[in-house]
Each structure stands twice: as C-alpha cells, then as structure tokens.
Structure 1
Amino acid sequence: MGITIYDLAREAGVGIGTVSRCLNNHPSVSAKTREKVLAVAKRLSYQPHAHAQRLASKKSNTFSTIIPFFTNYFFIEVLQGVQDRASELGIDLILYGVNNTAQAEYYLRRSLHGGRVDGVMFFSMKFPESYVAKFEQMKLPLVIVDAYHEKFDSLLVKNLEGAKQATRHLISLGHRNIGMINASLETTPARERLEGYKLALAEAGIPFDMEKVVITSNGKQDGFNREAGYESMKEMLRRGFGRNRATAVFIASDVQAIGALEAAREFGVRVPEDIAVVGFDDIELAKHAQLTTVRQPMYEMGTLALQMLINRMKNPCAAPNHSTFLPELVIRKTCGAQPGVVSSSLHSGIELGEPSS
C-alpha cells in the first residue's frame, strides 16, 4: 500500500491539514514547516496521485459536494481544504450550492441516479430521512460534514463545547449579564451553540433569560451573515437599558460578530469597556478585528472530509465513522482579557477512528 497523507503527518509531527497546505504551497505555512514536510514526502517517496489512479480504474474519480452559502466565510475555508486535497489526488469535484432543503434533495437525486459521481459530501444541513434508504440501497459513499446522522460517516465540530467555553470565559472575567446573538434555530450549529451557552450559565448559577438572546430575523444564510449581526446587536442594545443590561455577548459566528461590532461603534458603545464580545469560527476577518472567538479548524475539516469519503469507498462495509474536532478559544482584544489560545476543556485536536488504509 502506498504512502498516505496520514503517514506524512505522523512522520513530520504535524496535522493532515498542515501537510495538505505544504503540498499545495499554501501561504499560511511557514517556510520551515513546508521544508520539513516536503523533505519527509521525498524521503518516503510519496506520490499524491497514485491513490487516485487506483480509484480511477473502476470509478469516475468525481465527487459531488452539496453545500449551502458559497459566500459564507466558513464554507469558503472548508471548501479550500476539500479542493486542495482533491487536487493532490487528481479527483474532480462537482460543487452544488443550495439555499433550501428542496434544492439539496434535487442534487442528492442527481448524485444518486446520474451515474457521474463516486461519492457525496453533504454539508451543514439535516440529511433528509427520505434519502437514507436510497443511499443505503445504492451503496453510494456519503460523508456528512458539520452535521450528524447515525447511519453515515460524519465530521463536525463540538459546537456545544465551543459555546460553553466561550460563555465560561466571559463568566471568568466577572460578567453575569451575558447575552447571545444567534442564527436560525433550524440549523444544527445554532441550536447546539445556544445549548452550550445555556449550560455554561447553569453551571455558574446564572439564570437563563430569553430576553438576553436575539435570534436573527434575517433569512439570508440562515442568519449567519454580517447584516444579521448588525441588526441583532442594535436590538440587544435597545433592550439593554437599565440595571440588567448585557455587559458581554456571545455571538454564534464571526461574520455576525463583525456586523455587531459595527453596530456597537454606531451606538457609541465601547468594546470591550462597555460590552465584551466573543464570536465563533476564527475566520480571517476575526484577526483583523481583534475578535476573541472560538476557533474551528475549517481547512482541516475539508481535507479530512474528502479523505473520509475515500476511506469509505475502500471499505464500504465498515461501521460509520463519526469524527469530531474539538474547538479552541482564541483570546484577542474584544473580551478585555490577555491574548492567547486556550484549548478545549476536554482536549484540542480531532477525535476519530484509525483511518482506513
């Protein structure tokens, strides 16, 4: 069996996402790390396209990716990881952008019956129950990313743990009146992040108050957008006069948090002096805004999702592999604490089964 990306990562002492970045000459990797990984690849005679060529002998060597919101920063990062890993292996991708369940079902149907793809990556939506039996019958490999289904391989971040960590951090800074700006509760991440926020409050003996939660009414991207964050922060500040006003806010995504920071500036509210802010994702804009946030390893999620799909093709009868990334708290200026990175209360990294070989 040939050398895999996992072998390179293990030998070089780095993550698979870092290996993928090095092989694709990604600018975010230091020259020292790139040289180390490339030296290991050369020493082990790594041939990135060998696996894809083996697959191509009997397959179309094409995967479909069904994903919402091409313009969402989270998905742009994840797709970059998918694309880079696919390029390494000579795999073609068909990208389907969808806005609702009906569109997702249409492209699932095309993937099943078009005969054009070897597998499907399905992102961030509840997988339609009406298609469970169809995928099982057709034995078409499927990986669900940023969501979960017990019958199929899945890959997601522990949203609940990340939200708890963000809220606990604000509590540790002395805040008791902590608000939340959330997106549509039709989405799994929004529901889980709300639950994590509530659990952290309960642990600290702080009563949950729905008046301190603003759920966006903006339907675009299910509320995970800048405008929704802007309007939600204005609403929170309007509600916030009096003794029980929020002195801190946990926001369900960075892109919403960027909009919320704009609204705070317009209202003359100082961050973090008047209100502390913590987001979720750690997109590139978060660094420029000095936003304290919960880091999701988005690029690594993309590379691993594609690798899981390949593993499923090689081992179609194996039990479903449910892998989870554990988040990290990245402390910057918007919370008022000293900058740094705090690993999850569990541990940082990935929880997954041994990759198939």
Structure 2
Amino acid sequence: MAVTIYDIAREAKVGIGTVSRVLNNSPKVTSETRERVISVAKRLNYQPHAFAQALARKRSNTFSAIIPFFTNYFFIEVLQGVQETLTSVGYDLIIHGANNQQQLEEYLQRSMRKGRVDGTLIFSLRLPDQFATEFKEKKLPLILVDSFHPDFDSIRVDNVIGAKIATEHLITLGHKDIGMINANVVSVPAQERLNSFLQTLREHNLPVRNEVIHNSSQTKNDGFSREAGYNDMREILNSGVKLPTAFFVSSDIQAIGVIEALREFELRVPDDIAIVSFDNIELSKYFGLTTMNQPMYKMGELAVKKMLERIENVTTPPSSINFTPTLVVRASCGANKHYAFHDSN
C-alpha cells in the first residue's frame, strides 16, 4: 500500500496540514519541521518521483466545488465538512452553483484550466461524458459526492437501500396504502429513491397508486424545497383522491412543506397521516421527523481526504465509498410516542 501524507504526519508527529505545506514548499513551515517531515518521508519510502513532483509543482492550494444550488440543507451540511477539513490542511474552496447543464459545463471548463485549482468536487450532478474523458486523459483530480462514475472516486449514500428501509418501516407499522412526495427526477438521488420505493411496494404486494405519488416539476433546487413539498401535497389534497395513510417524502425540507399543507386541511401528523423522510438535516429534529440519516458532514470530510490522496497518486484505481443510511425514529411516523411532535407554528 502506498504511503500517504497521513502516514508521514503520524510518524513526524505533525498535522496533515503541516505535511501538505511542506509538500507544497510553503514558507509557513520552520526549517526544523520541514527537515523532519522530509526525513520521515524518505524513511517511509514515500515515492521519490511523487515527492519531487509535489515539491516542484506550483499548486493553488484551492479546490473547486460544483453543486446544483446553494439553498439545500444537504449541501450546507456536506460543505461544512468540506470547508472545515480543507481549512485544517491549509486549502481554500471555490463554490460554484450550477443551475443548468450549461453552467455545469462552464464551471468544469474553468476547473480544467492549468493552475486554477488542484482538484474538483462535484455534488449530486451527472458528469458529462466529454468532460469525464478529458479529466481522465489529463489525470485531473476529480471526486464525485452523492453521484457516481466508474472512472472516478465517489462518495455517496445508498439511496436504494435508504428508501427501502424507510418504506418498509411504514409497512412494519401496518400501513398498506403509502404515497410518495418526491423531488424532480432529473436529480439522481430523487430517481433512485423513487425507483426503490416503487420496487419495495411491489415486493410486499402493495398497490402503487400513481395519483398519490408526485414527482416535483420544480426546477429550482431540483424540487428539494419546502415550497415543492407544500405545493405537491396541496395538489393531492385538492384533487379529492382517497388519501393514503402514510407518505414517504424524498427529503426533510420537503416534508416540512408537506406537514404545513396537511395542517391547513386539518390533518394531523402522525394521527391521520404518517410521514418518513430522508436526510436528517438539523431542522428535522425540531419537526419530529422520522427520517433516514445521511452522514453529511462525514461525506464532506472524506471527500477532502480522498482528494488529497488522489492528488498524490493520480494513477491509482478509483474507489467508491458507499454509506448505508440509518433510520432515525421520531414522532412523524407514530412509532415514537416519547418524541413530541411540533408543526411549523
């Protein structure tokens, strides 16, 4: 196994940020510390060519992060993990919000310019084939978070398993008629959660009622918003269809909007309608949401660590880290009687 900066930091009794600064030939390191780090690197047989390249290469000490939008709580928490980890190793972060394919391609083009950034993080977006080819051919460090491509490192949550766990939790509680409020299926996570929800219903021989399964048409935030959840729930309520006894909602922030709409129709959660959602954002506990927990901060932290490793070893095979989300049971599903439910008032 190749020696990494983490091995050097441990042996030299310094932080990985210090090792990074030595490799980047930063003046913000004492000569004594520099010599100790270099000595340990040589003793551990840190690959001489990579070491020499790291010392000689002019780096920007900056990563770029391309996300679909700025207002989603998921990205706020993931980016907190990214930013704090980057700060600890002396790196900066440029954030780009891509609202459409054209913007995504523009930001990818910028990231490919020599010397602009040392690595690129892409969140919840499909990597266009032409850019995948260019990044691979030029050996440019690229990490995918909440997305996947076989040629690049990826860090993601298993949306299929998560949606299955959420749906089966409702089934276990006795619900046989379950609807879904989903985000826009242009989003990979939204599509995966929908497919898994439908498959789970079929596996349990439960009806798939399209009239109570709504995919958001909202393009802003890909439908992952309180407004989208509220509007989609209102549409179902206004249609006059027979309501299911439970809903699986594709994100916590949508679920908050769903609860607001139900309240306006004097429907109680969980007494009249049970809800399970996805993400476990900070707000979810204040609304008593039963939800699937994503380790958002940890995903951001690992993305940075994986990027630092990739910068050092650009030729190693790509790897994929998959987290299995865990169920957090609160009031909205009706199973946790000790957890007080609070609506948005």
Q: TM-score, structure 1 length as denominator?
A: 0.81
Query: How much does 1:196 deviate?
Result: 1.3
Q: Matches of 1:317 and 1:60 in 2, distance apart? A: 21
Unaligned 5+ residue runs, structure 1?
9-42, 341-357
Q: Deviations over 1:276-316 (max 9, x none)?
A: 01110001110100111001110001000111111111111
Q: Matches of 2:142 and 2:4 in 1, distance apart? A: 24
Partner of 2:109: 109
Partner of 1:70: 70
Q: Matches of 2:163 and 2:14 in 1, distance apart? A: 40
Partner of 2:35: none
Q: Matches of 1:152 and 1:217 in 2, distance apart? A: 30
Amino acid paired to 2:182: N
1:175 equivalent to 2:179? Answer no
Q: Deviations over 1:79-101 (max 9, x none)?
A: 00000000110011111111111
Unaligned 5+ residue runs, structure 2?
26-56, 339-345
Q: Matches of 2:189 and 2:23 in 1, distance apart? A: 34
Matched position secondary structure for 2:66 = strand
Q: How does 1:161-310 map to 2 (within 5 A)?
A: 161-239=161-239, 241-242=241-242, 245-310=243-308
Query: How much does 1:329 deviate?
Result: 0.5
Q: What count of residue pairs does the alignment treat as equivalent?
A: 304
1:45 to 2, 5, 13: 13
Is contact 2:177-2:207 (8 Å) kept? Answer: no
Q: Matches of 1:44 and 1:316 in 2, distance apart? A: 24
Larger radius of gyration: 2
- The 1:48/1:272 distance shift into structure 2, 3 A limit, reads same
Partner of 2:38: none
Is contact 1:144-1:153 (8 Å) kept? Answer: yes
Matched position secondary structure for 2:332 = helix
Amino acid paired to 2:309: N
Q: TM-score, structure 2 length as denominator?
A: 0.84
Is contact 1:173-1:337 (8 Å) kept? Answer: yes
1:54 equivalent to 2:22? Answer yes
Query: How much does 1:211 deviate?
Result: 1.9
Matched position secondary structure for 1:311 = helix
Amino acid paired to 1:273: D
Q: Matches of 1:241 and 1:211 in 2, distance apart? A: 7
Q: Matches of 1:166 and 1:237 in 2, distance apart? A: 23
Is contact 2:118-2:141 (8 Å) kept? Answer: yes
Q: Deviations over 1:236-258 (max 9, x none)?
A: 2234544xx21000000000001
